Amino acid sequence: MSAPTEFLHLMAGVLAILVLASVIGLVLSLRLNKDGQNATIENLNARIKAWWAMVALLGLAMLAGRTGVLVLFALLSFAALREFLTLTEKRRADHYALAASFFVILPVQYIFIGLDWYGMYSIFIPVYAFLGLPIVAVLRGETDRFLMRIAETQWALMICVFAASHVPALLTLQIPGYEGKSILLIAFLVFTVQFSDVMQYVWGKLFGRRRIAPKLSPSKTWEGFVGGILTASLAGAGLWWLTPFTPFQAFLMALAITLMGFFGGLVMSAIKRDKGIKDWGHLIAGHGGFVDRLDSVVFSAPIFFHLTRYFWSSV
């Protein structure tokens, strides 16, 4: 599947933004961070470098078409699931359930999406895996903290696999007049949600005064929230040409997914606080772990998928 022209135009725009950001980061380093001791500028440049790598990876996967996107998100789900479960409480009796999560449930979910079997990939994890995992675990006879152990594994599967898999599931949608362009829906989703995260950070740094949830995420402010959500929603409206939506519909869809992305970030922050950690991992410089980058997307992806399927898809 060749990439639609609209996708190439979007990638050109994203690359232009990254070049501009890199130049700004370089100028700031030369003027204000000659000794390398300015933590804010160091973090900014680390984030920009990480974004180059992430955009390149996502762009290559999308250029490779449906298979490339499926493989990429299956690997991301595996990495995120590993990060999530590493921080949970487990016993020897959970080993079979964990093995099933990584090597059976995860690949089968993505195989169902590859087969375009909506009836299965929409219920496989929330029904069959949800009921099957406790059975596998309880047969080992270890009841100490059983509910917490199995619930954490179920949550990990729902967040890292089921919700994340709805990104490549967008490729299965059949929208009249939009044939061969469904990959652009992924571009719209990822760009809008991630742009919202960036703009919330920018607005918060510039004008943030009132914190939304100090105990969960001290950096999130009402000013950053409102400014970031509105800016990203307007950007989404400006990207209507990527989608089957009108500009106003694109604005509403962008508003819905950026709101879900924001609340997803809060939920995942609450889990991190509960576990006593700052980041889920340290593999992505300036961004933490894979779950830290996916938290907004995974909460918004199922909502975006089902809204698009219900209102625009012919199936």
Q: Which residue has the higher pLDDT, 44 or 149?
A: 149
pLDDT at 219: 80
- Min mean pLDDT across 102-116, 186-200, 264-278 is at 264-278
pLDDT at 185: 95
Alpha helices in the chain, H assignment, sequence order: 5-32, 39-63, 66-86, 95-100, 106-114, 118-121, 130-138, 146-157, 166-169, 183-207, 222-238, 247-275, 290-311
pLDDT at 14: 85
How much is the average pLDDT of 137-145? 89
- Min mean pLDDT across 54-63, 85-94, 225-234 is at 54-63
- Min mean pLDDT across 19-33, 132-146, 241-255, 256-270 is at 19-33
| Encoded tokens for 7 | 């996708």
pLDDT band at 25 (very low <50, low <70, confident <90, very high): confident
Q: Which residue has the tokens 């997307």?
A: 297
Q: Is the pLDDT of residue 87 over 80?
A: yes
Secondary structure class of 284 (helix, strand, coil):
strand
Q: Which residue has the higher pLDDT, 171 or 287?
A: 171
pLDDT at 281: 63
What is d(CA 243, CA 196) in angstroms, rounded to the nearest whole number? 18
Q: What is the DSSP string of 171-210?
A: GG---TT-TT-THHHHHHHHHHHHHHHHHHHHHHHHH--S
pLDDT at 96: 94
Q: Is the pLDDT of residue 252 over 70?
A: yes
> What is the amino acid identity at position 96?
Y
**Exposed/middle/buried for residue 6 (C-beta within 10 Å: 0-12, 13-18, 19+):** middle
pLDDT band at 312 (very low <50, low <70, confident <90, very high): very high
What is d(CA 299, CA 302) in angstroms, rounded to the nearest whole number? 7
Cβ pair 44, 205 in contact under 8 A: no
Q: Is the pLDDT of residue 284 over 60?
A: no
What is d(CA 297, CA 160) in angstroms, rounded to the nearest whole number? 10
What is d(CA 194, CA 183) in angstroms, rounded to the nearest whole number? 17
Farthest CA pair distance, the chain: 63
pLDDT at 253: 98
